[in-house]
Structure 1
């Protein structure tokens, strides 16, 4: 088989002023090196679009697990691909499906250790690039959902939240509440993904929360910050556990650079009720990926979990689709399919 000698890549053309627009990015065809000793050539089949890129291209935040992106840099993120060439005697073979973090390009050449093989027969492999492992991490390690818990998931219609509500139920939650930005998405979360109630941002948030969780909250997976975190602390039961895993309120704010999401929280209430608020990244638990894949595969085979996603056809449409994440587009994970 003739191996590709070029590949298109999405690069940052200029640092956005406020929220990004499609013209801040360029899709460029570039030479693709032949794989050297120990290297693997992978053709990408799909990659994830995620709002955290706003932080990386906006220059916000400090002490991030990955560096900021400047003009000329290639974008990256979770991807699913197919091995085209691999060294003999190595762990991968041509035809193997793999996941990796070099999305936003049609093909990549890298060392074999950069790729994770997808188990043969794994149901719906696209689910492995969804970022939903962050929700599993939060609900099993950071906030530790217990049977009978009332759980709140903010940004419930995104890549993490759309599966996190289902995961919370599978872990024993008695009631699962979400938040989103539109009534249409709220209805879909209830009808299709089993949320008991979904609050719509922009309407009086604390009042909505008091109505749907009159006895309070036991667990909060917060992907937003801002007023939603404020209201969640005010609605918490004694001993409630918070996993802080995102800053979408700041990433959607054109006046910010995507690296902060200020919230006023009642420290007296936190102390007197013994609440725990813990931040985390998936890098905190490097051993979690194998466990997540095993449980996700089992749940998918048994029909106990649904992987919702919005498909974007072709790399040329990826920049525009990324912009859409900040204006309310998409439901579930937003994935570019090549």
Structure 2
């Protein structure tokens, strides 16, 4: 659970609290999952600080939000059977009970963890942000202000593929290397 807000400072272990609760049985339209992998994105710190305004505000005591990959261990949703591998935003929980309509079945379990990286939020943000919003044309110069970060590094690669000149900005010589 979220135990403190890391506003203006690095994360500390005490920003989180490990809580044990009973697994909630699924109601109609829900499934119970066993989490196998969690996504850890830089944006999650901002979510804890309630900055950005593009995700729901968090409260002290909330489950830490985030993406995950898990297997269905109980289902009351017609789309999912026990054993299905799914992805979704079910937070940092070992056995979440989640709305089935908010999950996506993974057809190739060998590629499951890619959905937590370049084929997940990071890659989708880079792809749609650059190509649908930025709409670069071959020959344009694209400046990436967070070029050493997860999303920024993907933006730079997509811009290069699109035939653009890329200028990356990063926080120091080591990151620029």
When normalised by structure 2's length, the TM-score is 0.83
Paired residue secondary structure (1:34): coil
Match of 2:66 among 77, 85, 91: 77
Paired residue secondary structure (2:175): helix
**Preserved contact between residue 15 and residue 70 of structure 1 (Cα < 8 Å):** no
1:263-282 to structure 2, matched below 5 A, reads none
1:102 aligns with 2:93: no
Q: Which has the higher strand share?
A: 1
Q: Which residue of 1 aligns with 2:116?
A: 129
1:45-64 to structure 2, matched below 5 A, reads 45-60=36-51, 64=53
Aligned length in residues: 172
Within 2, Cα distance between the matches of 1:37 and 1:67?
24
Where in structure 1 are there 5+ consecutive unaligned residues? 1-10, 188-338
Paired residue secondary structure (1:107): coil
* Structure 1 pair 93–177 and aligned structure 2 pair: CA distance change class (3 A): farther
Q: Which residue of 1 aligns with 2:2?
A: 12
* Structure 1 pair 58–45 and aligned structure 2 pair: CA distance change class (3 A): same
Paired residue secondary structure (1:27): coil
State the Cα distance separating 1:97 from its structure 2 match: 2.0
Show CA shifts across 1:148-172 (max 9, x none).
22222221222212222222223x2
Q: Which residue of 1 aligns with 2:103?
A: 115
Within 2, Cα distance between the matches of 1:72 and 1:14?
9
1:137-216 to structure 2, matched below 5 A, reads 137-170=128-161, 172-187=162-177
Within 2, Cα distance between the matches of 1:46 and 1:39?
20
Show CA shifts across 1:45-67 (max 9, x none).
22222233333322445xx2433
The Cα RMSD (Å) is 2.3
Paired residue secondary structure (1:162): helix
State the Cα distance separating 1:122 from its structure 2 match: 6.9
Where in structure 2 are there 5+ consecutive unaligned residues? none
Paired residue secondary structure (1:68): coil
State the Cα distance separating 1:113 from its structure 2 match: 0.3
